[in-house]
């Protein structure tokens, strides 16, 4: 079985401050981890993914994420948040098996205030 | 959203009616997926297809049906057997169902039952 948890429903930060969106996972195998962003009434946009190698993954729009195997976490970060980063963020996980499935977290709403 | 189109953007259905949601992709992707999004629940997989003329049930297939007659198209029918169909429906595609492949999403269809 595989699952992913996003422990915070909402994250509020001021523009220019660091942004962190938390994600933890539970899998029985090597995880492949993804982050997506969704703006209101739109589809999901891919931000970045961790497959193997360097634990720090850089993605679109200045976002990065750090894979931590011992803590089973894959937190999304941005050094300096913008008002335009306000959106719904999803973490997702897939494992190495015959199961293709991508399991999504419930999402975290990020609000960046000017 | 580029490369995957969904129509209509908004759809209203009376109870007891079947409705079909369209999903088309021009990315030459082999695999296509349908997800349902409800507030606070993340995305749940309805059906997926790895190849033309073949598809498999996801986690919540009851009350839904699909077809995959062409590589580019993967329509979803919401039948009258679906008890609570009001939701946001997202279509996605990927180049294959390998574990590292990224799923790309369409803009979504919001279905409301009147």
Which residues, listed in sequence order, are joined to residue B56 by a DSSP beta bridge?
B48
pLDDT confidence bin for A95, thresholds 50/70/90 = low
Name which of B71, B68, B74, B64 is nearest B106 in CA terms. Answer: B74
Among the partner-chain residues A94, A100, A106, the one whose CB lies closest to the CB of B40 is A106
Q: Which of A57, A102, A106 to mutate to test the interface with B (most CBs of B within 10 A)?
A: A102
Could you give the CA distance from residue A72 to residue A85 in angstroms, rounded to a whole number?
25
Which of residues 36 through 95 in chain B touch A, CB cutoff 8 A? 40-45, 48, 50, 58-59, 88, 90, 92
Each residue's pLDDT tens digit, A69-78: 999 999 999 9
- Mean pLDDT confidence for B44-50: 93
Could you give the CA distance from residue A94 to residue A112 in angstroms, rounded to a whole number?
30
Least confident of A6-20, A45-59, B65-79: A45-59
pLDDT of residue A105: 93
Examine the pLDDT at A110 and tell me if it is beyond 90: yes
Among the partner-chain residues B42, B100, B105, the one whose CB lies closest to the CB of A51 is B100
Minimal CA separation from B80 to chain A, in Å: 25
Could you give the CA distance from residue B111 to residue B12 in angstroms, rounded to a whole number?
6
Examine the pLDDT at B55 and tell me if it is beyond 70: yes
Examine the pLDDT at A37 and tell me if it is beyond 70: yes
Could you give the CA distance from residue B21 to residue B107 in angstroms, rounded to a whole number?
12
pLDDT confidence bin for B101, thresholds 50/70/90 = confident
Q: What DSSP letter does each residue of B36-102 carry, written as one string?
A: EE-TTS-EEEEEEEEETTEEEE-TT-TTEEE--SBTTB--EEE-TT-S---EEEEEEEESS--TTPP
């Amino acid at each position: 079985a595989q699952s992913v948890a996003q422990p915070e429903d909402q994250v509020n930060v001021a523009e220019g401050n660091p942004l962190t969106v938390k994600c933890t996972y539970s899998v029985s195998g090597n995880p492949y981890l993804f982050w997506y962003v969704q703006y209101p009434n739109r589809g999901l946009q891919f931000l970045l993914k961790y497959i193997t190698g360097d634990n720090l993954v850089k993605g679109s729009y200045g976002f990065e994420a750090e894979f931590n195997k011992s803590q089973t976490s894959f937190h999304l970060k941005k050094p300096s948040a913008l008002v335009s980063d306000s959106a719904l963020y999803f973490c997702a996980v897939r494992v190495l098996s015959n199961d293709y499935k991508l399991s999504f977290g419930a999402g975290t709403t990020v609000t960046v205030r000017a | 959203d580029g490369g995957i189109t969904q129509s209509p953007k908004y759809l209203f259905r009376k109870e007891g009616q079947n409705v079909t949601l369209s999903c088309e992709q021009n990315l030459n992707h082999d695999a296509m997926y349908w997800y349902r999004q409800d507030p606070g629940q993340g995305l749940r997989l309805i059906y997926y297809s790895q190849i033309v003329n073949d598809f498999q049930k996801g986690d919540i297939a009851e009350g839904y049906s699909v077809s995959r007659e062409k590589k580019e198209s993967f329509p979803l029918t919401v039948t009258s057997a679906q008890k609570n169909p009001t939701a946001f429906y997202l279509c996605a595609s990927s180049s294959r169902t390998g574990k590292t492949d990224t799923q790309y999403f369409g803009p979504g269809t919001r279905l409301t039952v009147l």
